[in-house]
Structure 1
Amino acid sequence: MALQILLVDDSPMIHNLLRKVLVKNGHEICGDAKNGKEGVEMYKSLQPDLIFMDISMPIMSGLEAAAAIKKLNPDSKIIMLSAMGDEAVLTEARVIGINLFLKKPFDEYKIISAISSVA
């Protein structure tokens, strides 16, 4: 099933990698945000099926943005991306209701597996 996916990450390299893998696997990128604040605004207008969100971004962090999105829609699906595996961050992500935590670096298999486990 093709999903409408919102990408929220300040790294153009990650945007490009995710876009390439997701489109190749039949999904549609409905929006690209460069920080958490943009991500929340795009979520409100686009209502995507799934969000890939970096944890560490300028203006508003991924955790702050995820909390705001979950407040708008507790059923929203969010896959959090991070190079950090700090236990306190993972705990906060679970409390917020993040559906899955995907540690960088990741490959096509991990991306598609992540989607299968939350969609």
Structure 2
Amino acid sequence: MAKILIVDDSAILRRKLAAIIRNCGHEVIGEASNGLQAMVEYENSRPDLVTMDINMPLTDGIEALSMILRRHPEAKIIMISDVNQKSMVFEAIKLGAKNYIIKPFEEEKIITIVNNVLRNK
């Protein structure tokens, strides 16, 4: 069972992702609604995986990804974006994100991506 941090400014999407992640046998150890909270939560809980929205207030997902990876290059982060943010997804992958999920998402796709990223050391 992996420990997962969910980062999204939408409480509804955080709850939906948490339910999917728990249903596939993993533990949600924290949630954050912006990039600044994500960095604090990462430092406090050291999750096995982070799902992170790209477009958030205060500090967006790209900046939070960069800051987390600068301090923890081993971090596994999956970016979540709207279909119209593809250029930002490619930037995130270049910075070190392990994969991405496009909204609206399907449960099976999330489970597959999460498990694949967790398996790859």
- So what's the TM-score if we normalise by structure 1? 0.94
User: Unpaired runs of 5+ in structure 1?
Assistant: none
Q: Which residue of 2 aligns with 1:33?
A: 32
Q: Which residue of 2 aligns with 1:12?
A: 11
Asked whether the equivalents of residues 85 and 103 of structure 1 are also in contact (C-alpha less than 8 Å), the reply is no
Q: Percent identity?
A: 37
CA distance, structure 2, for counterparts of residue 91 and residue 24 of structure 1: 29
Q: Please state whether the residue corresponding to 1:79 is helix, strand or coil.
A: strand
Query: How far did residue 39 of structure 1 move?
Result: 0.1
Query: How far did residue 75 of structure 1 move?
Result: 1.0
- Equivalent positions of 1:1-119 (< 5 A) are 2-119=1-118
CA distance, structure 2, for counterparts of residue 39 and residue 12 of structure 1: 14
Query: How far did residue 91 of structure 1 move?
Result: 2.6
Count, aligned residues: 118
Query: How far did residue 84 of structure 1 move?
Result: 3.4
Q: Please state whether the residue corresponding to 2:57 is helix, strand or coil.
A: coil
CA distance, structure 2, for counterparts of residue 89 and residue 25 of structure 1: 28
CA distance, structure 1, for counterparts of residue 110 and residue 90 of structure 2: 22
CA distance, structure 1, for counterparts of residue 87 and residue 21 of structure 2: 30
Corresponding letter in the other structure for 1:99: K
CA distance, structure 2, for counterparts of residue 108 and residue 53 of structure 1: 16
User: Unpaired runs of 5+ in structure 2?
Assistant: none
Structure 1 outlier segments of 4+, above 6 Å: none
Asked whether the equivalents of residues 81 and 89 of structure 2 are also in contact (C-alpha less than 8 Å), the reply is no
Query: How far did residue 63 of structure 1 move?
Result: 0.4
- So what's the TM-score if we normalise by structure 2? 0.93
CA RMSD of aligned residues (A): 1.1
Query: How far did residue 93 of structure 1 move?
Result: 0.8
Corresponding letter in the other structure for 1:60: T
Asked whether the equivalents of residues 66 and 98 of structure 1 are also in contact (C-alpha less than 8 Å), the reply is yes
